[in-house]
Structure 1
Amino acid sequence: MKSIKILYIIRQAEFGGGETHIKYIFDSIDRDIFVPVLVSFRAGYLSDYAESLGIKFYLLSDKFYLLFFNIIKLIRIIKKEEIKFIHAHGTKGAAFVLLPAVLQNKKLIYTVHSWSFHPELNKLQIKLRLLIEHLICNYAYRVIFVSQKDYELGEFVSPEKKLLIKNGVDVARFFPFRNERFRIENGYTGNDFVIGFFARFTQQKNPLFVIQLIKSLVSESQQSKKQFKLLMIGEGELKEQIIEEIKKNNLENYVKILEPSFEIEKYLQIIDCFVLPSFWEGLPYGILEAMSCGIPVVASRETNICEISNCYDDSFCEPIEVEAFKKRIIQLANDSNFYLRVSENARKTIEKNFNIEDSIIELLKIYGKLKVQKE
């Protein structure tokens, strides 16, 4: 059977939801039929993984003044690799590949992991980003949304182009299992209640809030039968500030920071609770993967996060306030029956509503149509 090459482009190939999404695609598609080529503005977690699979990776410059050279380079990549169609993830990747796609007459699939015109921006920034999103969506062959909220916000996208394919998790890989040996190797005892924060260390993900949270939990540990610890996995521009806050608050014995890992499920097997106090989100893989492992979640009351919670009997969305998060975590630590119920419901929710097999089947329908058109 004749193979076709697909160019995947994303802003950064580091540690995050969009990158996890592409990794799932690479793991799930038949790479003898659909041959991936990865392009990004930063190398990292995803590009390393892609190259370990034998997938070609091209690095663009992240300097704005090299915009023209990036466009020329993308055109050359499309020609050299004989790319048949393009799958862009996120606004920056889609925006940069738009002109090369037009000039080379290539179909563009655009996956919206989260609209770029989020409420934290000023009015001018929102207008500019809306214009960019309009241009991308007007040209795109299909626009895929991973959350219902973003699907509804995309009123300007032609109905025949819009598809809702929610993020899904490999439930066979992410399953409930407590790895006591690995837990001990990482310095945790049976009396520790380990809170996990596995995300980029950026303003959006709000990691400094998590430091304030663990500080408060440690200072009031007498309210719980457990000793609270925090495991942070990630990278990002706030890392140095996080380390400073840990030292300033004498939390070195309570907080551990690790680099991003290809085997994130191993670390989910040693935590007791997962937190994500983001200001905005798409449909976060961190929460989905934790729930698939039966790990209770406490997260911000953000619409896309609550979309997961709405499928779930035990709502976990809280206002971004230390006291609200702390109250929920202490309840989980102290009440084993409540913890077990939340854990079991989390796993059932993922199996029923967020299975990667369902997501890939829908994506392959689009790829299949484009493959037939090319033939």
Structure 2
Amino acid sequence: MRILHINSTIVVNSGVMSVLMNYFRNIDKNKVQFDFLYFDKINPNSKTYKNEIQKLGGNVYKIANLKNIFKFNKKLDEFLKNNHYSTVQIHDPFVLIFIYKTLRRNNVDNIIVHSHATKWSDKKLNGIRNRALCYKLNSQVDYKFACSSAAGNFLYKRADFYVMNNAIDLDRYAFNKNIRHDLRNKLNLNNKLVFGHVGNMVPQKNHMFLLEVFKEIIKLNSNSILILLGDGYLRDEIERKIRENNLTDKVIVFGKKMDVYHYYQVMDCMILPSLYEGLPMVGVEAQCSGLPIVFADTITREIGTDFSDFLSLNDSFKQWAEISIKLAESNINRDSGYLTMQNMGFNIKIEALKVTEKYKEINE
């Protein structure tokens, strides 16, 4: 069977695409194949998953931008007449109301909506719009998927849903003391207390809050370093704040890195003060390497372990700093992260088998 995934983009730094590609790499392709249809314009300099998708046996299609609903539906109608799919999985829930009739008219029997977040949007007006567009969702969708219970309860309220965990290749992220030693040497971070953050530089990730926390960390432990991985339209503003607070010798901005998993080994504690999340992939990856994390309590506790903690964004920067230092100095057994995350349902090899059975059940 072939599942058509409709998502806004196929770029490499998309969290949704990261989840889908983890499943696609590990799913039994004799039983299930993924195809992808996206609608956002992609910067020519951005890396995408197109080549990998095609190597894995999937197809990639570009359709008209969603800004022109009439044109979008016309192109989608033409596409579905030439490419029949009985199952379509939509990763931007608010899109369904625009394409529902087109899907049904082209004999799409199984419409899946997948909830990846616990907030409608970063922007207030967009949030109001997206909420309004989803008012019919529960009556239009055939199967409800979510990345976590929190994301499912947010979108579907009291309706039943299936949790498709944000599972990863645990072997790739397991703790490796040799990588830690070599990279800390290379970056001149020996004998430093290293805090870190991985995420796009957008309002949701709350970098300004993070920098305020780190200022308090330095007051308590001047031997601390903060490393930031990720990029985005707020990067200039973040780097300006670093300069204004005389933190240029304490904060290292790496930008995008394809080997992020190596940097988890370097860190002693990660800080994730996001304004909202579904279930952050970096939280799964980092904890697989045994890295303690201080999460904002806006993030679902489904991701919590006994070596991480949750704080309110209303707590003081000093409180965040104290807990961050406590976890960084806790000397936990970093090797324990692998088994902990496997027991929590984040081993992609196991979860891919479950999802295969779910798709089989849907298409019977």
SS in 2 for 1:109: strand
Residue in 2 that maps onto 1:184: 185
Once residues 29 and 258 of structure 2 are traced to their aligned partners in structure 1, the CA distance between those partners, rounded to angstroms, is 20
Once residues 278 and 206 of structure 1 are traced to their aligned partners in structure 2, the CA distance between those partners, rounded to angstroms, is 5
Residue in 2 that maps onto 1:354: 345
Alignment-mate amino acid for residue 302 of structure 1: T
**How far is the alpha carbon of 1:201 from its aligned partner?**
1.4
Answer yes or no: is the 8 Å Cα contact 1:10–1:93 preserved in 2: no
Once residues 288 and 129 of structure 1 are traced to their aligned partners in structure 2, the CA distance between those partners, rounded to angstroms, is 28
Alignment-mate amino acid for residue 104 of structure 1: N
Once residues 257 and 29 of structure 2 are traced to their aligned partners in structure 1, the CA distance between those partners, rounded to angstroms, is 23
Q: Deviations over 1:203-226 (max 9, x none)?
A: 1111222222333333x2xx33x7
Alignment-mate amino acid for residue 108 of structure 1: I
Give me the CA root mean square deviation: 3.0
**How far is the alpha carbon of 1:172 from its aligned partner?**
1.8
Residue in 2 that maps onto 1:7: 4
SS in 1 for 2:103: helix
SS in 1 for 2:150: helix
Once residues 157 and 271 of structure 1 are traced to their aligned partners in structure 2, the CA distance between those partners, rounded to angstroms, is 39
In structure 2, relative to structure 1, the CA distance for the partners of 1:115 and 1:294 (3 Å cut) is: closer
In structure 2, relative to structure 1, the CA distance for the partners of 1:63 and 1:232 (3 Å cut) is: farther
In structure 2, relative to structure 1, the CA distance for the partners of 1:175 and 1:246 (3 Å cut) is: same
Q: Please, which of 243, 266, 270 is the counterpart of residue 274 of structure 1?
A: 270
Once residues 231 and 96 of structure 1 are traced to their aligned partners in structure 2, the CA distance between those partners, rounded to angstroms, is 42
SS in 2 for 1:213: helix
Alignment-mate amino acid for residue 329 of structure 1: S
Alignment-mate amino acid for residue 274 of structure 1: M
Once residues 176 and 242 of structure 1 are traced to their aligned partners in structure 2, the CA distance between those partners, rounded to angstroms, is 30
**TM-score scaled by structure 1?**
0.82
Q: Please, which of 355, 358, 361 is the counterpart of residue 363 of structure 1?
A: 355
1:164 aligns with 2:163: yes
1:57 aligns with 2:60: yes
Answer yes or no: is the 8 Å Cα contact 2:308–2:327 preserved in 1: no
Alignment-mate amino acid for residue 213 of structure 1: V
1:147 aligns with 2:148: yes
Alignment-mate amino acid for residue 4 of structure 2: L
SS in 2 for 1:340: coil
Q: Please, which of 229, 240, 245 is the counterpart of residue 225 of structure 2?
A: 229
**How far is the alpha carbon of 1:295 from its aligned partner?**
0.6
**How far is the alpha carbon of 1:308 from its aligned partner?**
2.2
Residue in 2 that maps onto 1:129: 130
Q: Deviations over 1:99-140 (max 9, x none)?
A: 432332212111111244479847x954x5344334233222
SS in 1 for 2:271: strand
Once residues 282 and 46 of structure 1 are traced to their aligned partners in structure 2, the CA distance between those partners, rounded to angstroms, is 24
**How far is the alpha carbon of 1:278 from its aligned partner?**
0.7
Q: Percent identity?
A: 19
Residue in 1 that maps onto 2:76: 74
> How many residues end up aligned between the 2 structures?
352
SS in 1 for 2:332: helix
Once residues 235 and 79 of structure 1 are traced to their aligned partners in structure 2, the CA distance between those partners, rounded to angstroms, is 39
**TM-score scaled by structure 2?**
0.84
Q: Which moved more, 1:12-21 or 1:272-281?
A: 12-21
Once residues 95 and 294 of structure 1 are traced to their aligned partners in structure 2, the CA distance between those partners, rounded to angstroms, is 42
Q: Deviations over 1:286-327 (max 9, x none)?
A: 1111101111101111251x2322xx3345101224212211
Once residues 97 and 335 of structure 2 are traced to their aligned partners in structure 1, the CA distance between those partners, rounded to angstroms, is 41
Once residues 99 and 51 of structure 1 are traced to their aligned partners in structure 2, the CA distance between those partners, rounded to angstroms, is 32
Once residues 158 and 81 of structure 2 are traced to their aligned partners in structure 1, the CA distance between those partners, rounded to angstroms, is 29
Residue in 2 that maps onto 1:201: 201
Q: Please, which of 313, 319, 331 is the counterpart of residue 312 of structure 2?
A: 319
Alignment-mate amino acid for residue 185 of structure 2: I
Alignment-mate amino acid for residue 13 of structure 1: I
Q: Please, which of 287, 293, 311 is the counterpart of residue 289 of structure 2?
A: 293
